[in-house]
């Protein structure tokens, strides 16, 4: 049997014959849309479809339908997987067939068309089978082969399948014969908007964090794909603060100029999230003609029309500035103009606090300002013997040649090397391949990746100051020209690169990249959509608009931590602490719950300052530079029910400084009984002056007193 005919019959046997029945037998009653919902046995008939798709957003389709079942339940729809099929246009696809061909095609769609082509059951039937060769009637269908006919039916006129999940369900009305319902079919990513979190991520890149969030919602390598040019560096600290998981990953990706779009995976019947940062990540689709439709839109000729161009002036350059306390004298001011010869731009976009550490590839490691430098004189990740600079300064000031260099052993911080690592990358010839991984990096990663170029450049240019300025200016340039139009191509989707044939608009010879699509159609009217796009520019990728980070006003509670409930303050060589945030639900190793945090003090300088080390368990109030959740510092320490204040209403006239070892300076302001006590537990050594009292606060003398249980000396010159 002819192989093409066999293929045709197999397709018909899988259910496409049902669509042909509607086209041929149903005539004008043919439904342009088919809605299939997992687990739903009731027949539904689509009345109307309204679609809304945007780059960097989950798509949504509002579908109105009828059913003879008037009692469909909410549970049958909400959170159920479903798919919407844009069926072939209608009888207009079959306009080339004569009556004989239509009759033969109609006979194909009755019951099971394969019955007519079954092999003979015995040799006696062979002659009869040959004489009634069904190929004769099939060949009369058309002068071209049947497979081409099927492709004509199901490829033209906007054939498309959308896989998603039902996120809304409504019963609109009920009549005598049927009920009218409405559902919203959305990309699975839309469900992430219902999950709100506060969380901390450490030692991960932006892409690694996004993958972790996706995997927490059940995404695997089939469900998302990375098509990245850059390799993004590890950041020491990333905070999700009162955001949905969807808002969080949108913010992270937009911050580094990464966009995402969607594709349909026909084999696995799911939508695929494609994450990319350059123009090779666009979906390449066939050219389309710019032509006003004649009569109805239902003529099987896909086209665009009513195209218009809108342009505006944008900034000539982007200037960035930042401050890094680790290198306080560093000049982090930079400016980038990615279009130096463009006279349609004007002005400068000055952006402060883009959260970078180095200005360019020749400076420090170029990642977030909170990341540890590669070459730091003080190793931030090591905690151990360091010189007590306060004692050293006292010795210097007294010209004491006997430098004791008293070392304070504070503890040991061995950072856990089993941190989360950004996904490795592969180079793939087929940018659209899904589901296969050839991972050079971390073998435990799940996502499928197509990484092209710039391998090994992390920490040299990506996320530096000049890099941020460049991608911010690329964003402005990419949105300088906006194109609008209409189309009857149901396959049109954000993130597609399409060449337009016959357009009168200048500057789009290389094609356009679709940003948004809004469409509408019903049983009688073909699906028509409007779109916005930008000109396709090689080497000038689209960049999404940065999303402001959530502001944390005031302070948040946290507790100072250490690996082993250290007796002394667990600090690094810069005097910084690690804390456990009260909002953080993750389980970290003790002493590794955060990055190293600076402690704000009332007095600080190069050889002077004010610092009482905080010990494990101390409650602290953490503030954030410019309200940025990724830039915390300790504003002050707090007493609580576990650590009550030593000055209360009972001794409100006393001013007390007391250390954990009970070294104490007490200044009593009670009028007429003023006194000062300076004491240490070692040898019960004390200096008391003024109104002297006992432990019951009863007077025992006046003047001054110097006492000790150990030896004392008087040094006179």
Q: What is the CATH number of the domain that holds 141?
A: 2.30.110
Mean pLDDT over residues 261-265, rounded?
A: 95
* Of 540, 524, 528, 536, the residue nearest 500 (C-alpha): 536
Q: What is the per-residue pLDDT for 518? A: 97
CA angle 145, 147, 153 (to 5 degrees): 110
Q: What is the per-residue pLDDT for 10? A: 58
Residue 526 CA to residue 452 CA, distance in Å, equals: 40
The neighbouring-strand residues paired with 52 are 60, 518
In a shared domain, residues 29 and 161 = yes
Residue 416 has pLDDT above 50, yes or no: no
- Give 530's contacts (C-beta < 8 A, 6+ positions apart): 484, 485, 486, 487, 517, 518, 519
Query: Mind spelling out the 3-state secondary structure of 543-597?
Result: CCCCCCCCCCCCCEEEEECCCCCCCCCCCCCCCCECEEECCCCCCCCCCCCCCCE
In a shared domain, residues 33 and 158 = yes
Residue 32 has pLDDT above 90, yes or no: no
Q: What is the per-residue pLDDT for 588? A: 96
Pairing of strands 654-658, 664-668: antiparallel
The residue with greater pLDDT, 5 or 575, is 575
The residue with greater pLDDT, 151 or 179, is 179
Q: What is the four-CA torsion angle of 149, 151, 153, 155, rounded to 10 degrees?
A: -160
Q: What is the per-residue pLDDT for 695? A: 83
Residue 559 CA to residue 500 CA, distance in Å, equals: 60
Residue 236 has pLDDT above 90, yes or no: yes
Mean pLDDT over residues 432-442, rounded?
A: 36
- If one counts every other C-beta atom within 10 angstroms of the C-beta of residue 147, the result is 16
Whether residue 324 lies inside any domain: the answer is no
Whether residue 167 lies inside any domain: the answer is yes
Q: Tens of pLDDT along 462-502?
A: 888 899 999 999 999 998 999 999 999 999 999 999 999 98
Q: Classify the C-alpha dihedral 460-462-465-471 as positive or negative.
A: positive
Residue 510 CA to residue 538 CA, distance in Å, equals: 8
Whether residue 51 lies inside any domain: the answer is yes
Whether residue 463 lies inside any domain: the answer is no
Q: What is the per-residue pLDDT for 299? A: 55
Whether residue 368 lies inside any domain: the answer is no
Q: What is the per-residue pLDDT for 662? A: 94
The rounded percent of the chain whose pLDDT value lies above 90 is 58
Instruction: Name which of 86-95, 267-276, 522-531, 554-563 the model is least confident about.
Output: 86-95
Q: How confident is the model at residue 7 (pLDDT cuts 50, 70, 90)?
A: low
Residue 35 CA to residue 135 CA, distance in Å, equals: 34
Cβ atoms 84, 34 nearer than 8 A: yes
Residue 708 CA to residue 121 CA, distance in Å, equals: 116
Residue 344 CA to residue 547 CA, distance in Å, equals: 26
- Give 401's contacts (C-beta < 8 A, 6+ positions apart): none
In a shared domain, residues 98 and 239 = no
Instruction: Name which of 284-288, 440-444, 446-450 the model is least confident about.
Output: 440-444
Q: How confident is the model at residue 93 (pLDDT cuts 50, 70, 90)?
A: very low
Q: What is the model's pTM?
A: 0.75
For residue 15, which phi and psi values (nearest 5 degrees)? 125, -10
Residue 132 CA to residue 697 CA, distance in Å, equals: 121
* Of 322, 346, 347, 317, the residue nearest 332 (C-alpha): 322
Boundary residue ending a domain (453, 476, 500)? 453
- Give 404's contacts (C-beta < 8 A, 6+ positions apart): 391, 395
Residue 258 has pLDDT above 60, yes or no: yes
Q: What is the per-residue pLDDT for 438? A: 35
Mean pLDDT over residues 618-634, rounded?
A: 97
- If one counts every other C-beta atom within 10 angstroms of the C-beta of residue 185, the result is 26
In a shared domain, residues 154 and 256 = no
What does the block give as tokens for 600? 């704000």
- In the block, which residue shows the tokens 């397709």? 11
Boundary residue ending a domain (410, 430, 453)? 453
Instruction: Name which of 115-124, 404-413, 506-515, 610-619 the model is least confident about.
Output: 404-413
In a shared domain, residues 147 and 202 = no
What does the block give as tokens for 178? 């049927």
Cβ atoms 144, 96 nearer than 8 A: no
Residue 210 CA to residue 680 CA, distance in Å, equals: 53
In a shared domain, residues 220 and 234 = yes
Alpha helices (H) in 343-487, listed in sequence order: 389-397, 465-478
Q: How confident is the model at residue 294 (pLDDT cuts 50, 70, 90)?
A: confident
- Give 338's contacts (C-beta < 8 A, 6+ positions apart): 470, 473, 474, 477, 540
What does the block give as tokens for 688? 């008391």
- If one counts every other C-beta atom within 10 angstroms of the C-beta of residue 329, the result is 5
In a shared domain, residues 197 and 176 = no
Whether residue 538 lies inside any domain: the answer is no
Residue 639 CA to residue 24 CA, distance in Å, equals: 81
**Region at 156 (left for phi over 0; alpha for psi -120 to 50; beta for the rest):** beta
Whether residue 436 lies inside any domain: the answer is yes
Laid out side by side, the sheet with 317-321 consists of 334-336, 317-321, 348-352
Q: What is the four-CA torsion angle of 305, 310, 316, 317, rounded to 10 degrees?
A: -60
Q: Tens of pLDDT along 672-707?
A: 999 999 999 999 999 999 999 888 888 888 899 999
For residue 530, which phi and psi values (nearest 5 degrees)? -115, 150
Residue 669 CA to residue 653 CA, distance in Å, equals: 5
In a shared domain, residues 78 and 136 = yes
Could you give the 3-state DSSP secondary structure of residue 349? strand
In a shared domain, residues 663 and 685 = yes
The rounded percent of the chain whose pLDDT value lies above 70 is 71
Residue 286 has pLDDT above 60, yes or no: yes
| Domain ranges, residue 152 | 3-185
In a shared domain, residues 175 and 249 = no
Q: What is the per-residue pLDDT for 698? A: 87
Q: How confident is the model at residue 447 (pLDDT cuts 50, 70, 90)?
A: very low
In a shared domain, residues 33 and 175 = yes
Radius of gyration of the chain (CA): 36
The residue with greater pLDDT, 14 or 715, is 715
Residue 544 has pLDDT above 90, yes or no: yes
The residue with greater pLDDT, 293 or 442, is 293
Q: How confident is the model at residue 11 (pLDDT cuts 50, 70, 90)?
A: low
The residue with greater pLDDT, 460 or 601, is 601
Q: What is the per-residue pLDDT for 367? A: 42
* Of 250, 306, 219, the residue nearest 54 (C-alpha): 250
Residue 284 CA to residue 498 CA, distance in Å, equals: 7
E strands, 455-522, in order: 481-487, 496-498, 500-501, 512-522
Residue 19 has pLDDT above 80, yes or no: no
Q: What is the per-residue pLDDT for 353? A: 86
In a shared domain, residues 237 and 145 = no
Whether residue 574 lies inside any domain: the answer is no
- Would you give the DSSP letter of residue 497? E
* Of 187, 178, 254, 266, the residue nearest 222 (C-alpha): 266
Q: How many CA atoms lie within 13 A of 306 on its CB side?
A: 11
Q: What is the per-residue pLDDT for 300? A: 62
**Number of domains into which the chain is organized:** 3
Mean pLDDT over residues 142-167, rounded?
A: 61
Q: What is the per-residue pLDDT for 12? A: 52
What does the block give as tokens for 300? 């099987």
What does the block give as tokens for 160? 């498309």
Mean pLDDT over residues 156-172, rounded?
A: 86
Residue 264 CA to residue 163 CA, distance in Å, equals: 7
Residue 610 has pLDDT above 60, yes or no: yes
* 407-429 burial code (b ≥16 CB/10 A, e <16): eeebbebeeeeeebbbbbbbebe
Residue 601 has pLDDT above 50, yes or no: yes
Q: How confident is the model at residue 398 (pLDDT cuts 50, 70, 90)?
A: very low
Q: What is the mean pLDDT of the chain?
A: 79
Residue 520 has pLDDT above 60, yes or no: yes
Q: What is the per-residue pLDDT for 355? A: 83
What does the block give as tokens for 354? 């883009």
Q: How confident is the model at residue 170 (pLDDT cuts 50, 70, 90)?
A: very high
Boundary residue ending a domain (126, 151, 185)? 185
């Amino acid at each position: 049997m002819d192989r093409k005919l066999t293929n045709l019959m197999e397709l018909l046997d899988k259910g496409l014959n049902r669509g042909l029945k509607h086209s041929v037998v149903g005539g004008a009653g043919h439904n342009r849309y088919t809605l299939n919902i997992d687990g739903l046995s009731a027949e539904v008939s689509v009345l109307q479809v309204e679609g809304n798709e945007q780059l960097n957003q989950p798509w949504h389709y509002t579908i109105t339908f009828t059913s003879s079942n008037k009692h469909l339940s909410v549970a049958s729809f909400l959170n159920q997987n479903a798919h919407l099929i844009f069926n072939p246009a209608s009888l207009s696809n079959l306009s080339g067939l004569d009556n004989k061909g239509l009759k033969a095609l109609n006979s194909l769609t009755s019951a099971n068309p394969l019955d007519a082509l079954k092999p003979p059951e015995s040799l006696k039937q062979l002659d009869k089978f040959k004489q009634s060769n069904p190929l004769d009637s099939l060949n009369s269908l058309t002068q071209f082969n049947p497979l081409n006919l099927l492709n004509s039916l199901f490829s033209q006129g906007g054939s498309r399948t959308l896989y998603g999940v039902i996120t809304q369900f409504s019963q609109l009305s009920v009549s005598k014969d049927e009920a009218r319902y409405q559902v919203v079919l959305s990309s699975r990513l839309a469900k992430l908007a219902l999950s709100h979190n506060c969380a901390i991520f450490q030692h991960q890149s932006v892409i690694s964090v996004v993958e972790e969030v996706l995997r927490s919602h059940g995404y695997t390598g089939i469900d998302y794909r990375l098509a990245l040019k850059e390799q993004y560096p590890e950041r020491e600290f990333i905070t999700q603060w009162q955001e949905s998981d969807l808002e969080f990953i949108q913010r992270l990706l937009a911050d580094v100029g990464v966009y995402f779009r969607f594709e349909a995976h026909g084999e696995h019947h799911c939508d695929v999230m494609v994450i990319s940062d350059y123009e090779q990540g666009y979906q390449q689709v066939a050219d389309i003609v710019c032509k006003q439709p004649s009569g109805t839109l239902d003529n099987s000729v896909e086209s665009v029309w009513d195209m218009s161009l809108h342009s505006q002036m944008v900034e000539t350059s982007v200037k960035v500035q930042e401050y890094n306390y680790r290198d306080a004298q560093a000049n982090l001011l930079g400016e980038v103009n990615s279009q130096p010869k463009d006279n349609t731009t004007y002005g400068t976009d000055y952006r402060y606090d883009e959260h970078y550490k180095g200005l360019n590839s020749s400076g420090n490691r170029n990642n977030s300002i909170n990341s540890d430098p590669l070459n730091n004189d003080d190793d931030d990740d090591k905690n151990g013997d360091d010189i007590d600079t306060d004692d050293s300064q006292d010795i210097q000031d007294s010209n004491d040649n006997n430098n004791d260099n008293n070392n304070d052993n504070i503890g040991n911080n061995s950072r856990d090397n089993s941190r989360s690592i950004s996904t490795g990358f592969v180079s793939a010839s087929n940018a659209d391949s899904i589901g296969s991984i050839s991972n050079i990096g971390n073998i435990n990663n799940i996502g499928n990746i197509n990484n092209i170029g710039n391998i090994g450049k992390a920490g040299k240019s990506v996320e530096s100051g000049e890099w941020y300025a460049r991608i911010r200016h690329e964003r402005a340039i990419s949105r300088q020209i906006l194109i609008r139009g209409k189309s009857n191509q149901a396959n049109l989707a954000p993130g597609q690169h399409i060449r337009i044939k016959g357009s009168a608009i200048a500057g789009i010879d290389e094609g356009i990249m679709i940003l948004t699509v809004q469409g509408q159609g019903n049983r009688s009217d073909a699906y028509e959509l409007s779109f916005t796009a930008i000109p396709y520019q090689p080497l000038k990728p689209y960049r999404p608009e940065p999303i402001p980070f959530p502001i944390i006003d005031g302070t948040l509670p946290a507790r100072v931590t250490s690996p082993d409930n250290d007796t002394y303050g667990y600090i690094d060589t810069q005097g910084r602490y690690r804390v456990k945030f009260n909002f953080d639900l993750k389980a970290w190793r003790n002493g590794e719950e955060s990055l190293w945090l600076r402690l704000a003090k009332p007095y600080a300088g190069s050889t002077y300052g004010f610092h009482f080390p905080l010990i494990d368990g101390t409650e602290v109030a953490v503030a954030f530079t410019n309200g940025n959740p990724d830039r915390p510092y300790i504003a002050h320490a707090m007493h609580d029910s576990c650590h009550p204040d030593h000055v209360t209403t009972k001794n409100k006239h006393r001013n007390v400084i007391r250390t954990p070892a009970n070294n104490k300076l007490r200044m009593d302001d009670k009028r007429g009984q003023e006194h000062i006590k300076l004491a240490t537990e070692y040898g019960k050594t004390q200096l008391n002056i003024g109104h002297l009292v006992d432990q019951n606060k009863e007077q025992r003398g006046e003047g001054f007193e110097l006492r000790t249980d150990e030896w004392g000396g008087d040094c006179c010159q």
